[in-house]
Amino acid sequence: GHPSRRDFGGPRGARPAARRRRRRGFAAVSCGSSSAADERQALFSRIAPVYDHVHDVLSLGQHRTWKRICVSWSRARRGDRVLDLCCGSGDLAFLLSQKVGLDGQQLQTAASRQDQRWKPCYKNIKWIEGDALDLPFTDCYFDAVTVGYGLRNVVDKPKAMREILRVLKPGSRASILDFNKSSSLFTTSLQSWMIDNVVVPLASGYGLTEEYKYLKSSILHYLTEKELEELAKEAGFSAAKHYELGGGLMGDLVATR
């Protein structure tokens, strides 16, 4: 369930300007709450035990590079208050906490990983079970938001984008990493071949065939580069640009409020 808004920045509504100075704090949100979202959440709960290992094997560790780029392009800086939305096991949250430092502020998995990590800055992460479509934060609350492979998995992308916009301070950025729905026939064929002949067979070894067949369909139904930029502008972002990564297999949408 959602913590009350009062827990995170008081009653919903624009923060008094005087209090909009660079604040400290850090949050990572995952989960979701609707029947479709519940099904998706159950899917990720089933994957959670092998999630990080599968990614290191399948992407030859490259997913860590793509996540570092996503966090870098969010322009999160020391002392910022930042949000990693759809945090899962917390990869981007941990990277963000290194950016914002000790002064900066998947759930069970992420929290236990937090305990296993030694860097003091990690203690500033709050793991919050909430819905990306109804964020428990007031307006203009964060200096940066990252979404790592989350937008493709939420059930209402326009609503998620409007929520991200709402909680961002004016002039701040969202950096949204995901698979790239490429216009290049070669890239889409390579991506599809990899998923059919590497990803799904390997996942089947973990008894996760259906879960990874969902992965393929989620990419097929995802938005193209131009559609993502339009989605951001329609949500109210003043600027939006999508950049391809990993030879076009992945991409990062950088949107400024």
Ligand X SMILES: C/C(=C\Cc1cc(O)c2ccccc2c1O)CCC[C@H](C)CCC[C@H](C)CCCC(C)C
Radius of gyration of the chain measured on its C-alpha atoms: 17
- Residues 227-256, one symbol each (x = binds ligand X by CB under 6 A, - = not), give -------------------x--x-------
Residue 133 binds ligand X, judged by CB under 6 A: no
Residue 86 binds ligand X, judged by CB under 6 A: no
Distance CA 252, CA 242 (A): 6
Phi, psi of 173, rounded to the nearest 5 degrees: -120, 150
Q: Identify the helix (H) or strand (E) that includes residue 41.
A: helix 35-47
In the DSSP assignment, the letter for residue 15 is P
> From the CB of 230, what's the least distance to ligand SAM, in Å?
21
CB 206 within 8 A of CB 50: yes
Residue 59 binds ligand X, judged by CB under 6 A: yes
Residue 48 binds ligand X, judged by CB under 6 A: no
CB 219 within 8 A of CB 191: yes
4, 11, 16, 60: residue in contact with ligand X (rule CB under 6 A): 60
Residue 73 binds ligand X, judged by CB under 6 A: no
Angle (deg, nearest 10), helices 225-235 and 157-167: 50
CB 235 within 8 A of CB 154: no
Residue 54 binds ligand SAM, judged by CB under 6 A: no
**Site residues for ligand X, window 151-190 (CB under 6 A)?**
152-153
Q: Indicate the residue among 168 and 195 with the shorter CB distance to ligand X.
A: 195
- Interface with ligand X by CB under 6 A: which residues? 47, 51, 54-55, 58-60, 62-63, 149, 152-153, 191, 194-195, 199, 211-212, 214-215, 218, 246, 249
- Interface with ligand SAM by CB under 6 A: which residues? 29-32, 37, 40-41, 44, 86-88, 91-92, 106, 131-133, 148-150, 153-154
